């Protein structure tokens, strides 16, 4: 089978090479600007005499749906500048002004019809600044990197814009402070730039500079802005102090001095930016607040792997593209793609420690570790150096224990320093990129038995393009080194990500005397990202590669790693139809396969996938996929007891989305999986409906239900019997139900109201218990020994096992069944009363009731009986920020 994969891959690469035609060189357009002479009133109507100093730019070309054709509506623009600002005027002609889509949204939501300018002021052909203006006045902005492969909407510069609708279409005026851009100190500047217009009712996009979709590039193909002379260097200085008043109410607990039913506090802090040079910015924060941030979605896993949550905190998401360091990032995708050298949620997360309470004692524990301060130094020089340095210190956290008024404190998180340094160098017009990263975590003494004293990771990476960036090879090598006490290093060796204690693992062994671990990893990827289109607008793309994680690799002090001891091979191929044909607007056909080995050389995984996706000319979308997991051995499933062969499985998914341009649209998704010989069933159904009755109001609700069943091989517990180890497994039935509601009312682009709410329940129930007897047996039935007689409940939450059948229990294990219910919601009123300065009113509600033993009530009834019945924790917050800009 592996030889067939290699032959198939080589054949397709050969066909792709044969199909390559001589590349068509598309000339770069040029626009010549001029210095402003006069004044401009920013009212959205470019009627001032000053605009007559330059000509209109135009002659846009469709990018989609009919690439290369003239757009249905023409677009023109003008650009001027002075010592402080860049000015842009737009003229968006429309033969049907009444059909212009004026829907509203929050900043960075890109609603309705819009026009956008991308500016490569570095002129490095890889990065750019994007400013988008919707006809309704909503501003959106992004930082572009990796030649258009990364768009970071967390970048929020200060800029100004107005729009106006007339009988010829709509117009707009934009004023961008030069301090928000980065550029060199040459006298005569040449910047790359692109202008894009979207017409929502046709879902049509047109560009000033024609860039074929199959080119696989963006910033490097921009047109050029000439005529910028003697622009002064601007050292950006921004200071944003804030103040917060917060009040919490919750259920009072009689006798608990820490649960009085209400709390209040008044705090403040400071965010700031300081331009060290025109290219490099220092961001800092003192006592940061994240009170208005949307709550994480509820998520419970029973497979042992940790949950991954998106970063939502403003300080950490801004400029995050510089600090991103995926170990793999493959086109094929896979669990390994989640692994990161830097995972910012580690900073300020929940404390690692815990307190032991005696009878009559109560504890007050911090929910999160406080960040005393953090700073980022980041940017890109004219010479192509991208620099990122992040430093953060989190507070020593202690829990307070009370016993009849006598109080003591116990450490639950030591004072900790986090460091990340990232460096990249572009050369050969961005066709060659070399880089490196180093991270460090250092903790004070205090929880040495639990946490590593220090943890360091690092990596080197490269990217090489050729043939007009159509072909590429990229890769990295990484290392980790953790130090600590014998106890903490033993805990690392035996933790879920490593499991050195696993029987039959010849490549690893537990050493309880070790005080350090050093591991390595790496990835190599080779692929084709574009090329000339075929007769029907099709483009062939592919990527293949290998990614490795040695058994000792440990990233989770500051990064994210699901598991080590893996060598993964992946291949992805896609035939993408980018021009309309038949009933389709676009279509994609993709093939993937994956193989996996551990470091002993044992082959442990094989899977094949085919998927297709299509957008119809009606703008409906659909897709389906089929995966055959033909071979699967898990080194983690039994939590370190041994490896376990899992059944082969067939998986299928399908989705259908209606036209999102309509006032009402819906999405439906279905997933099914079936294990061989009726060993696994997984069924998931999702439905969401979105309503937009008027331009300013949007409401959506979604529901997801899943039913997951595994016969016999779900890990339950470990036990000892007659000096033998018993790994107990069972049949599991897990039902999960989730609803999510969102409401957005945009009174103006600067004044918005948003609500988010999510009730959630999951309930895994176990029975038909057994112990693992032959975990790698070819026949499923031979892997387990079913208990006879069956375990008996003792009425206190334990199952009693009489393995020898003499009527006397030989050992016991805890009942694994549980019912988890949670409700989370946020209501936020946000007013940007001046550019960059904001006022928030926030109401957050959270409820995690004690419903673990509610196992017999129907799922939906249990959710609504528990999520809303007991008194939730309510947090009311008022926050005001003021942004001083120089």
The fraction of the chain above a pLDDT of 70, given in percent, is 97
The per-residue pLDDT for range 626-676, each reduced to its tens digit, is: 999 999 999 999 999 999 999 999 999 999 999 999 999 999 999 999 999
Side-by-side strand order, sheet with 169-177: 34-35, 75-81, 85-93, 169-177, 160-166
The per-residue pLDDT for range 490-524, each reduced to its tens digit, is: 999 999 999 999 999 999 999 999 999 999 999 99
Contacts of 241 (CB under 8 A, 6+ apart): 268, 269, 270, 271, 881, 882
Residue 10 has pLDDT above 60, yes or no: no
Structure tokens belonging to residue 433: 């990129």
Q: Which residues pair with residue 735 across a beta bridge?
A: 707, 763
Pair 117, 195: CB distance under 8 Å: yes
Q: Which residues pair with residue 182 across a beta bridge?
A: none
Pair 490, 512: CB distance under 8 Å: yes
The per-residue pLDDT for range 346-356, each reduced to its tens digit, is: 999 999 998 98
The whole-chain average pLDDT of the chain stands at 92
Measured between alpha carbons, how far is 281 from 157 in angstroms, rounded to an integer?
13
Output the DSSP codes for 650-668. EEEEEEEE--TTSSEEEEE
Give the pLDDT band (50/70/90) at residue 24: low
Contacts of 352 (CB under 8 A, 6+ apart): 412, 413, 447, 450, 451
What pLDDT does 6 receive?
Answer: 52
Measured between alpha carbons, how far is 836 from 534 in angstroms, rounded to an integer?
48
Q: What are phi and psi of 602, to 5 degrees?
A: -75, 130
- Cis, peptide link before residue 789, omega less than 30° from 0: yes
What pLDDT does 782 receive?
Answer: 95
Show the DSSP H helices in 643-767 as ranges. Answer: none
Measured between alpha carbons, how far is 861 from 867 in angstroms, rounded to an integer?
10
Q: How many residues does the structure list for the chain?
A: 886
pTM above 0.85, yes or no: yes
Structure tokens belonging to residue 797: 């939450």
| C-alpha to C-alpha distances, 282 to 84, 95, 126, 276, 315, nearest whole angstrom | 21, 48, 22, 7, 12
Q: Domain map of the chain by residue range?
A: 28-229, 299-373+394-415+442-455+465-570
Residue 96 has pLDDT above 60, yes or no: yes
Measured between alpha carbons, how far is 421 from 140 in angstroms, rounded to an integer?
29
The reply to whether CATH 3.40.50.300 applies to domain 28-229 is no
What pLDDT does 660 receive?
Answer: 94
Question: SS3 of 54, please?
Answer: coil
Lowest-confidence pick of 411-420, 670-679, 750-759, 877-886: 877-886
Q: Would you call 415 exposed, middle or buried from its count of C-beta atoms within 10 A (0-12, 13-18, 19+)?
A: middle
Mean pLDDT throughout 792-819? Answer: 93
Strands 75-81 vs 34-35: parallel, antiparallel or unpaired: parallel
């Amino acid at each position: 089978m592996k030889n067939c994969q290699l032959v198939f891959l080589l054949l397709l690469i050969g066909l792709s090479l044969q199909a390559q035609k001589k590349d068509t060189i598309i000339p770069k357009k040029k626009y010549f600007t001029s210095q402003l002479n006069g004044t401009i009133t920013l009212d959205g109507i470019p009627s001032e005499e000053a605009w007559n100093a330059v000509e209109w730019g135009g002659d846009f070309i469709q990018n989609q749906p009919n690439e290369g054709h003239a757009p249905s509506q023409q677009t023109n623009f003008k650009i001027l500048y002075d010592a402080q600002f860049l000015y842009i005027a737009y003229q968006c002609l429309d033969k049907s002004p009444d059909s212009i889509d004026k829907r509203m949204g929050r900043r960075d939501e890109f609603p309705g019809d819009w026009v956008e300018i991308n500016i490569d002021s570095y002129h490095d052909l890889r990065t750019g600044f994007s400013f988008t203006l919707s006809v309704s006045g909503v501003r959106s902005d992004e930082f572009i990197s990796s030649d258009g492969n990364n768009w970071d909407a967390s970048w929020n510069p200060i800029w100004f814009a107005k729009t106006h609708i007339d009988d010829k279409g709509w117009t707009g005026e934009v004023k961008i402070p030069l301090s928000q851009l980065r550029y060199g100190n040459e006298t005569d500047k040449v910047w790359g730039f692109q202008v894009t217009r979207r017409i929502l009712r046709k879902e049509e996009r047109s560009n000033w500079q024609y860039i074929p979709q199959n080119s696989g590039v963006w910033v490097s193909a921009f047109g050029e802005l000439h005529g910028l002379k003697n622009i002064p260097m601007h050292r950006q200085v921004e200071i944003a102090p804030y103040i917060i008043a917060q009040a919490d109410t919750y259920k009072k607990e009689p006798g608990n001095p820490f649960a009085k039913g209400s709390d209040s506090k008044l705090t403040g802090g400071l965010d700031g930016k300081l331009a060290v040079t025109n290219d490099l910015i220092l961001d800092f924060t003192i006592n940061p607040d994240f009170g208005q941030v949307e709550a994480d979605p509820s998520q419970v896993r029973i497979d042992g792997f940790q949950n991954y949550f998106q970063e939502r905190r403003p300080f950490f998401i801004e400029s995050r593209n510089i600090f991103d360091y995926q170990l793999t990032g493959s086109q094929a995708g896979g669990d390994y793609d989640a692994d990161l050298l830097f995972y910012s949620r580690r900073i300020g997360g929940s404390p690692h420690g815990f307190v032991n309470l005696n009878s009559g004692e109560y504890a007050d524990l911090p929910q999160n570790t406080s960040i005393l301060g953090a700073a980022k130094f980041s940017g890109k020089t004219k010479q192509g150096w991208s620099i990122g340095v992040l430093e953060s210190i989190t507070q020593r956290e202690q829990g307070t224990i009370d016993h009849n008024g006598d109080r003591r404190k116990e450490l639950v998180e030591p004072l900790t320093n986090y460091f990340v340094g990232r460096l990249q160098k572009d050369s050969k017009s961005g066709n060659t990129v070399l880089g490196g990263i180093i991270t460090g975590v250092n903790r004070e003494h205090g929880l040495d038995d639990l946490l590593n004293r220090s943890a360091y990771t690092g990596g080197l990476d490269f990217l090489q393009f050729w043939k007009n960036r159509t072909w590429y090879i990229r890769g990295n090598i990484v290392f980790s080194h953790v130090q600590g006490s014998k106890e903490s290093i033993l805990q690392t060796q035996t933790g879920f990500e490593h499991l050195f204690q696993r029987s039959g693992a010849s490549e690893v062994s537990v050493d309880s005397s070790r005080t350090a671990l050093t591991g390595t990893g790496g990835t190599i990827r080779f692929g084709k990202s574009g090329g000339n289109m075929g007769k029907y607008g099709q483009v062939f793309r592919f990527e293949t590669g290998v990614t490795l994680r040695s058994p000792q690799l440990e990233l989770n002090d500051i990064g994210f790693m699901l598991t080590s001891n893996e060598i993964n091979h992946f291949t992805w191929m896609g035939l993408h139809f980018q021009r309309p044909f038949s009933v389709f607007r676009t279509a994609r056909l993709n093939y993937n396969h994956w193989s996996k080995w551990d470091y002993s050389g044992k082959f442990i995984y094989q899977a094949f996938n085919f998927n297709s996706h299509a957008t119809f000319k009606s703008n409906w979308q659909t897709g389906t996929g089929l995966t055959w997991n033909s071979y699967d051995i898990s080194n983690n499933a039994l939590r370190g007891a041994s490896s376990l062969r899992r059944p082969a499985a067939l998986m299928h998914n399908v989705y259908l989305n209606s036209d999102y341009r309509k006032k009402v649209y819906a999405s439906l998704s279905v997933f099914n999986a079936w294990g061989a010989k009726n060993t696994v069933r997984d069924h998931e159904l999702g439905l969401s409906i979105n309503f937009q009755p008027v331009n300013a109001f949007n409401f959506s609700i979604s529901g997801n239900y899943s039913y997951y069943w595994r016969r016999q091989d779900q890990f339950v517990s470990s036990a000892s019997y007659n000096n033998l180890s018993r790994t107990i497994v069972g049949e599991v039935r897990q039902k999960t139900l989730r609803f999510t509601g969102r409401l957005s009312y945009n009174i103006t682009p600067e004044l918005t109201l948003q609500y988010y709410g999510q009730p959630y329940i999951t309930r895994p129930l176990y029975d038909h218990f057994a112990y693992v007897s032959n975990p790698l047996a070819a026949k499923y039935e031979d892997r387990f020994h079913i208990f006879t007689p069956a375990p008996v409940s003792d009425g206190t939450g334990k199952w009693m096992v009489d393995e020898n059948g003499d009527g006397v229990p030989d050992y016991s294990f805890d009942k694994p069944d549980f019912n988890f219910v949670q409700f989370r919601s946020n209501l936020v009123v946000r007013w940007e009363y001046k550019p960059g300065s904001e006022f928030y009113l926030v109401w957050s509600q959270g409820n995690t009731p004690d419903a673990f033993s509610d196992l017999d009530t129907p799922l939906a009834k249990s959710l609504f009986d528990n999520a809303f019945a007991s008194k939730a924790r309510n947090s009311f917050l008022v926050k005001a920020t003021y942004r001083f800009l120089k």
